[in-house]
Amino acid sequence: MRTEKEKGIICLLLTFLAVLGVFAGGYRPEQNVCAAEDYRLWRQLDDRWGNTPIGGTTLRRSGCYVTSIAMVAVASGARSTDNFDPGVFARQLNNMGAFNSGGGLMSWASVNRAVPEISIATGNLNFRSGDQAGKAKELKAYLDKGMYVICNVGGHWVYIDGVIGNDVYMADPAKSEILMFKAYNNASITCYQALNGKNPYKGFTPLNAKPVTTTTTTVTTTTTVTTTAIVTSAVPEQADASRLASPALAYKTGEYFCNSNKKAMILADSDDEKSSFAELNNGNVVKVVKIDGGYGEVAVGGKNGWVDLSCMKYAESDEIITEGDVNNDGMLDTFDLALVNEYIASRDKLTDGISVLTQAEIKAADLSGDGKIDNTDLLMYLMLICK
């Protein structure tokens, strides 16, 4: 049991650290791991691991690269979904101190240390081709070598599931669309990485492949055999690719946060990139009030503008956040204190309409119940943590 003196020292340290904001962006990892049924359906927003910290951010906000590599680990047979997922992988990397403050890996070699059976073979490779056909051919060349590929689409990473003709099929940590050139503008598809796995790449299974159940009846028993259809690289290019594609993700109004390593520009005219008047950094939250194609209308700095939603992640959830538990990890602790401190520190620096917390998180942070987040709430956090 701590003595009163020890409690006092801890409180003093917490106060000092809160003022400095050194905990900012940190979250407590999930304690329970639930394996996904199909790794191609893993999403960085998944509540099972979305709040897992990576550097100064989280898987939810900046975990596309980690999620894509986790897919490679399972696809190559190095890991099983029974006991491995993006959250498990992120915690392994965290234990190595592998992330920088922005959630990026400081060394690609850390991937091999966490999962020795896989390694990043090429680093980032810029496409030599400028059109879809040429880029698809480049990606297929590495797949044909038995390597695994992840691709960067405007600062966001996706796992390449396979290539048929000029169509590139992906498993996207952020959305359900599987045709890469349908989901993302060709100009934003800039580079890729090739990886070696435990076993060579041999083909892909479409995201919407469903088990085909065959029932065989005999005189003595009834046996049900379930098999999953596999589409391999041997599928002819004339195959009806439309049957493989899932419907495009329909954007909806509500709060979004920027999940791109690049700044997301807010445009006065969605057709004119030079009309930008504000920008969003990774983790910034805005409210989208109207959808027009792939763009969302936001009110920032007293002006209405448009933001490319391919750079954004939907932030709203039906899940209720407990008072004080800002990161929704089931505990009120120093990580929540740090997020509140970061919110207060950044509030005066950010343009009106941009925040670092969602409205649900802000409501949870209002311990005093006075409708505003200030030093009173910070003091209440300290009192509860030191109790």
The tokens for 362 are 């802000």
* 241 in a structural domain: no
What does the pLDDT read at residue 334? Answer: 75
Q: pLDDT band for 17, please (50, 70, 90 cuts).
A: very low
Read off the pLDDT of residues 50-109 as tens digits, 9 standing for 90 and up. 999 898 889 998 999 999 999 999 999 999 998 999 999 999 999 999 988 778 888 889
CA atoms of 65 and 54, how far apart (whole Å) = 11
Q: Which is more confidently placed, 13 or 364?
A: 364
Q: Which is more confidently placed, 211 or 115?
A: 115
CB within 8 Å of 2: residues ≥ 6 apart: 10
State whether 322 and 308 are in the same domain.
no
Is 204 a residue whose pLDDT tops 50?
yes
Q: pLDDT band for 217, please (50, 70, 90 cuts).
A: very low
State whether 142 and 171 are in the same domain.
yes
Average per-residue pLDDT for the chain = 79
The residue behind tokens 């590139």 is 168
What does the pLDDT read at residue 205? Answer: 55
As for how many domains the chain has, the answer is: 3
Query: Where among 314, 334, 365 does a domain terminate?
Result: 314
Q: pLDDT band for 228, please (50, 70, 90 cuts).
A: very low
CA atoms of 183 and 179, how far apart (whole Å) = 6
* 369 in a structural domain: yes
The tokens for 206 are 């479409």
State whether 348 and 290 are in the same domain.
no
In CATH, what number is assigned to the domain containing residue 276? 2.30.30.40
Share of the chain above pLDDT 70, in %: 78
CA-to-CA separations, 159 to 31, 136, 357, in angstroms, rounded: 26, 14, 29
Identify the weakest region by mean pLDDT among 45-49, 59-63, 295-299, 310-314. 310-314
Parent domain of 288: 254-314
Query: Where among 203, 235, 262 does a domain terminate?
Result: 203
**52 exposure class (CB count in 10 Å sphere: 0-12, 13-18, 19+):** buried
The residue behind tokens 């509540």 is 47
* 152 in a structural domain: yes
Rounded average pLDDT over 194-207: 81
State whether 110 and 258 are in the same domain.
no
- Report CA Rg, the chain: 23
